[in-house]
C-alpha cells in the first residue's frame, strides 16, 4: 500500500516557502515592490540571500507566487458563489460585484499592493491568464445551469462566459477600476452587471 504521509523534507520546504512569501508580501506592501530586494527579504527572515534563492530563482518568481495566492483567493470566492442555491443571474451578479469589492479593498486600498498588481499585469504572467480562464469556467458553469433552468436563453455557455467576463472587466481589472472609480460619467457597477446579464436572457 502506498504511503500517503507527507515527507518531512517536503513539509519543511513548504514551510520555508510560506515564510518567504509572507515576509516578501509584508515588505512589498510596506516599501513597495520596486524598492524591496531579495537581500531585504532574507534579512527580515534572518537568513542569507543564498538560502532564499534555494526556493525561488528571483524576486520576480517570489512576486509571481504572491500574486498567485491573491488570485487564488479571488477564484475561491467565485467558486463559493457559484455553489449558492440562487438563480444564475444572481450568482453572476454576486461574482462580479464581490470581485469588484475585493479589487477595491485589496488591490487599490494600499498603493504598494496596487504596484504589485500592475507589475504582474504588465508582465502578462501566465498565472493571470490561467486565472482569467478559470473564472470564465466558473461563469460558464453558472450560465449552463441558468440555461437548463430556463432562466437564460439557449447559447454557447463558453462563448457567453468569455463575453460576460469581457463586458464586466472594468469592474475587476485593477488598473481600470482605479481609473473609473468614483467618476460620474461611468456606469455604476450594478448598472453594468445588470446590462451584461440582460444580454444573456
Q: How far apart are CA 113 and CA 58, in angstroms?
A: 19
Q: Model's pTM, two decimal places?
A: 0.78
- pLDDT at 109 (0 to 100): 56
Q: What CATH number does residue 103 fall under?
A: 1.10.357.10
Spatial neighbors of 109 by CB under 8 A, at least 6 apart, are none
Q: What is the mean pLDDT of the chain?
A: 87
> What domain range is 45 assigned to?
1-56
Cα(136)–Cα(110) distance, integer angstroms = 27
Q: What is the pLDDT of residue 29?
A: 81
Do both 52 and 120 map to the same domain?
no
pLDDT range class, residue 2, cuts 50, 70, 90: very low
* pLDDT tens digits, one per residue of 85-126: 999 999 999 999 999 888 887 765 556 566 777 777 777 567
- pLDDT of 1: 44
User: Per residue in 21-67, pLDDT tens?
Assistant: 999 988 988 888 889 999 999 999 999 999 999 999 999 899 888 88
Q: Could you tell me if 171 and 193 are in contact, meaning their C-beta atoms sit under 8 angstroms apart?
A: yes
Cα 168 from Cα 136, distance rounded (Å): 12
Q: What is the rounded CA–CA span in Å between residue 88 and residue 155?
A: 14
Q: What's the confidence (pLDDT) of residue 112? A: 59
CATH number at residue 36: 1.10.10.60
Q: Which of 154, 166, 69 is nearest to 120 (CA)?
A: 69
Q: Are residues 89 and 146 in the same domain?
A: yes
CA pair distance 185, 193, nearest whole angstrom: 16
41 & 67 share domain: no
pLDDT at residue 146 in the model: 98
Amino acid at each position: 500500500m502506498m504511503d500517503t504521509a507527507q515527507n518531512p523534507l517536503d513539509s519543511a520546504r513548504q514551510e520555508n516557502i510560506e515564510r518567504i512569501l509572507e515576509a516578501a508580501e509584508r515588505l512589498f506592501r510596506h516599501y513597495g515592490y520596486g524598492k524591496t530586494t531579495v537581500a531585504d527579504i532574507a534579512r527580515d527572515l534572518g537568513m542569507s540571500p543564498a538560502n532564499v534563492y534555494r526556493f525561488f530563482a528571483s524576486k520576480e518568481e517570489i512576486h509571481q507566487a504572491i500574486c498567485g495566492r491573491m488570485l487564488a483567493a479571488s477564484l475561491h470566492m467565485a467558486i463559493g458563489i457559484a455553489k449558492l442555491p440562487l438563480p444564475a443571474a444572481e450568482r453572476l451578479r454576486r461574482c462580479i460585484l464581490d470581485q469588484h469589492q475585493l479589487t477595491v479593498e485589496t488591490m487599490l486600498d494600499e498603493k504598494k499592493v496596487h504596484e504589485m498588481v500592475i507589475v504582474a499585469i504588465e508582465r502578462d504572467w501566465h498565472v493571470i491568464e490561467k486565472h482569467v480562464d478559470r473564472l470564465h469556467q466558473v461563469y460558464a458553469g453558472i450560465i449552463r445551469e441558468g440555461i437548463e433552468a430556463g432562466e437564460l436563453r439557449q447559447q454557447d455557455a463558453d462563448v457567453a462566459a468569455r463575453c460576460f467576463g469581457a463586458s464586466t472587466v472594468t469592474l475587476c481589472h485593477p488598473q481600470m477600476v482605479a481609473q473609473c472609480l468614483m467618476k460620474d460619467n461611468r456606469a455604476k457597477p450594478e448598472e453594468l452587471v445588470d446590462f451584461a446579464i440582460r444580454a444573456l436572457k
